[in-house]
Structure 1
Amino acid sequence: MTDHVAVGVDGSLGSAEAVEWAVDDAVRRGLPLRIVHVADLGPYELPVRSSQTLADAQALNATRVLADAEMRARKRAQRLEIDTEVLNGAPVRVLREVAKRAVELVIGHRGAGGFAGALLGSVCMQVAGHAHGTVVVVRAVEETRPQEVVVGVDGSENSHPALDYAFEQARLREGALRALHAWQPPSFAFIPNLSSHELDDLRRVHQELLEEQIAPWRESHPQVGVVPDLWCAHPVEALTEASGRARLVVVGSHGRGALRGTLLGSVSRALLARAACPVAVIRPRQ
């Protein structure tokens, strides 16, 4: 059932920021919040007494982490329906299941060495890159920043789930939606340098592609102000630059050209490392 917002916590500053983001989004959506902590004993074979001691310590830590997260959430939204739960197992597998059953899974961009870990850590990247659903990797931004949402558009059908999510976020926030399409001129050795006229023709083609792709969403979301944004640049450069003025950047987990591949690809990895705001990664549900 995708009737709630989920947030993963581990007691770190990053997960505290994720809780606040998740609370705000749950309030905007009118949905309950599910706070989860993953306890993983790991693949180690320990003596029975040692195993029990470790399990007891993890249980105490989980209770503290969840209590702190719930307190933070209730301070931000007193009337929000909140559920907390400790889940046992391998973090990647567990969190992928959590994401599958929620409107979105929210995690911090850095953690305490647990499931969140460093932003470029294997667990975080596997969750964001392979969960079937929406994963939001949170990086705190100043509250004075305008409620602008940026969505990466590459001209393929794989952008559609990202456009769905981005337009809905812009509507909920009553903010603008910047639809960004980045393109680069051909650079093959057998193609000579293009003239300014040829570059203008290419630019028009990409502008038309962008306008055509966002047209259905503009029609279905007339209350959202849309800014088509065409860049002759690498997608990482364009999306990173745009993230400095946005509250959220939305990308699909698969794309065309430079945006192709899962989040384990170079473009998505670089965006998560460099973005100056939260990044939502959208992967269609199975």
Structure 2
Amino acid sequence: MTLPIVVGVDGSEPSLRAVDWAADEAAVRGLPLRLVYASLWERYEGSSLAEDVGKPSEQVRAEDIVATAARRAHRRQPDVKVSTEVLSEEPEYVLVRESRSASALVTGTRGRSGLAEALLGSVSLTVAGHAQCPVIVVRGNHDNQARTGTHGRVVLGVGERPAGSAAVRFAFEEARRRGVPVDVVRAWRCPAHESTDHPLMAGEPARLHEQQAVEALETALQDVPADVESHRRIVEGRARTVLVDASRDADLLIVGAKRRPGHYGLQLGRVAHGVLHYSACPVVIVPEQG
């Protein structure tokens, strides 16, 4: 069964930018594109009908939004098969449900510039924290245009996962499709309480944590494909800060997020949460089971 790339649309500039990005991704992968608009408009409009078309006015607006998004996708990638749906439900619930039968789910941010651009909308944040497929949050520009890759690399943030990480697999598959290398980054820090003022001991805690970071990176990458070029970097600093810095010269930033069975809260670690708000390029959150 061919699973589509699903995009949550709402008529905003960020969501149209997400449609552009998703259309390009669908073309590269040879997948269909599904555009979904969800809103609880019935709660507010009840059975009142627009006089000219016999439908609630918000439903008319929703159908216009998905039709506009579909035309935009067709113009950008004429060969991609596009379908649309309008649902009177909470958008967070709809998109998480859609993630169960999608190859990837794409959303935009709701900010438009400055500080607003840094603040991820609640829908995107909730979906990223609960979806069962990779979630791509398209950010990094302050207009309504999705940029094609210009830096020629994807960045993978490596955490504590062992070999076989879904995020590692996703990063290398994406790099292969794009024909670009993977910049694999592992951040490390020496906790302040482990440092010492003695000049002969000052370097030991740092060297220990740096070596542990090297070993974690090597473990995570032990089964990566040999046909994809990769560059490995160990960087001292907070993981969120290191990855946000790396995103400034990347076309895509990929991190994993552990999914805990039976846990119903937002399942995003601090690093994933941080890069979703501040990355300079689109971010992929890949669910890691267990």
Q: TM-score range by the shorter chain?
A: 0.7 to 0.9
What residue in structure 2 maps to residue 195 of structure 1?
202
Aligned-residue offset at 1:165: 1.0
Aligned-residue offset at 1:110: 1.7
Which stretch of structure 1 is more off in the superposition, 122-131 or 13-22?
122-131
Q: Quote the RMSD (CA, aligned, Å).
A: 3.0
Seen in structure 2, the aligned counterparts of structure 1 residues 123 and 144 have a Cα distance that, compared at 3 Å, is closer
> Contact conserved, 2:154 with 2:252, CA < 8 A, in 1?
yes
Seen in structure 2, the aligned counterparts of structure 1 residues 170 and 87 have a Cα distance that, compared at 3 Å, is same
What residue in structure 2 maps to residue 185 of structure 1?
190
Residue-by-residue CA offset, 1:197-223 (whole Å, 9 max, x unaligned): 542343233213212221201xxx222
Percent identity between the aligned chains?
A: 33
Residue-by-residue CA offset, 1:211-266 (whole Å, 9 max, x unaligned): 2221201xxx22211111111100111010000011111111139xxxxx955554
Aligned-residue offset at 1:67: 1.4
Q: Which runs of structure 2 are paired with 1:10-159 in the superposition (5 Å)?
A: 10-41=10-41, 48-49=47-48, 56-110=56-110, 119-140=119-140, 142-143=147-148, 145-157=150-162
Q: For 2:186 and 2:16, how far apart are their aligned partners in 1?
A: 33
Which residue, 275, 278, 290 being the options, matches 1:274?
A: 278
Q: For 2:220 and 2:203, how far apart are their aligned partners in 1?
A: 26
Q: Secondary structure at the match of 1:105?
A: strand
Q: Secondary structure at the match of 1:253?
A: strand
What residue in structure 1 maps to residue 166 of structure 2?
161
Aligned-residue offset at 1:139: 1.2
Paired residues, number: 272
Q: For 2:288 and 2:213, how far apart are their aligned partners in 1?
A: 25
> What amino acid sits opposite 2:158 in the alignment?
V
> Contact conserved, 1:3 with 1:102, CA < 8 A, in 2?
yes
Aligned-residue offset at 1:154: 1.3
Q: For 1:10 and 1:157, how far apart are their aligned partners in 2?
A: 38
Q: Secondary structure at the match of 1:254?
A: strand
TM superposition score normalised by structure 1: 0.84
> What amino acid sits opposite 1:268 in the alignment?
A
> What amino acid sits opposite 2:271 in the alignment?
V
Of Structure 1 and Structure 2, the greater helix share is in: 1
What residue in structure 2 maps to residue 250 of structure 1?
254
Q: For 1:20 and 1:135, how far apart are their aligned partners in 2?
A: 15
Structure 1 unaligned regions, length at least 5: 256-260
> What amino acid sits opposite 1:166 in the alignment?
A
> What amino acid sits opposite 2:242 in the alignment?
A
Q: For 1:118 and 1:140, how far apart are their aligned partners in 2?
A: 9
Residue-by-residue CA offset, 1:172-219 (whole Å, 9 max, x unaligned): 11111011111110222x6535522542343233213212221201xx
Residue-by-residue CA offset, 1:59-104 (whole Å, 9 max, x unaligned): 2111211111111111111111111111221111111011121000
Seen in structure 2, the aligned counterparts of structure 1 residues 209 and 54 have a Cα distance that, compared at 3 Å, is farther
Seen in structure 2, the aligned counterparts of structure 1 residues 266 and 208 have a Cα distance that, compared at 3 Å, is closer
